[in-house]
Amino acid sequence: MAKVLFTPVSIIGGLLAGLLSRKIFDQIWGLIDKEEPPDSKYQDIRWSRLILAGAIQGAIFRAVKEASDHASRRAFYKTTGSWPGKKGHPEPE
């Protein structure tokens, strides 16, 4: 039941994390290069800039997403007393 109730919280949190990630990436990219971040749709894009921008953007998005998801789960738990996910620690491989 907690999973069903948590779904809208998760969706909203994910959208907000995406917006925040974009703002953070734009700020960081502005420190690296004065031009707009490269877009793979264009023919004349240098591979080095494209890969660098993708790696930075991916790392930022993943970090913000994970932090947002965990914070949402903690807030949900504090509000409802039910953890929406797996409890404990992951099993070692």
| pLDDT exceeds 80 at position 1 | no
Chain segment 67-76, per-residue pLDDT in tens: 999 999 999 9
pLDDT band at 89 (very low <50, low <70, confident <90, very high): confident
Question: Does residue 52 sit within a domain?
Answer: yes
Read off the tokens for 14.
């994910």
Chain segment 5-46, per-residue pLDDT in tens: 899 989 999 999 999 999 999 999 999 999 999 999 999 999
Question: Does residue 65 sit within a domain?
Answer: yes
Question: Does residue 67 sit within a domain?
Answer: yes
Task: Note the pTM of the prediction, 2 decimals.
Answer: 0.82
Question: Does residue 69 sit within a domain?
Answer: yes
Question: Does residue 91 sit within a domain?
Answer: no
Cβ burial of 17 (10 Å; 0-12, 13-18, 19+) is buried
Question: Does residue 89 sit within a domain?
Answer: no
User: Which residues are CB-contacts of 7 (< 8 A; sequence separation ≥ 6)?
Assistant: none
Question: Does residue 32 sit within a domain?
Answer: no
Question: Does residue 82 sit within a domain?
Answer: no
Total count of domains within the chain: 1
75/69 Cα distance (integer angstroms): 10
Could you tell me the end-to-end alpha-carbon distance of the chain, in angstroms, rounded to an integer? Answer: 29
56/9 Cα distance (integer angstroms): 27
Residue 27: its pLDDT value, please?
96
- Residues of the domain holding 72: 46-76
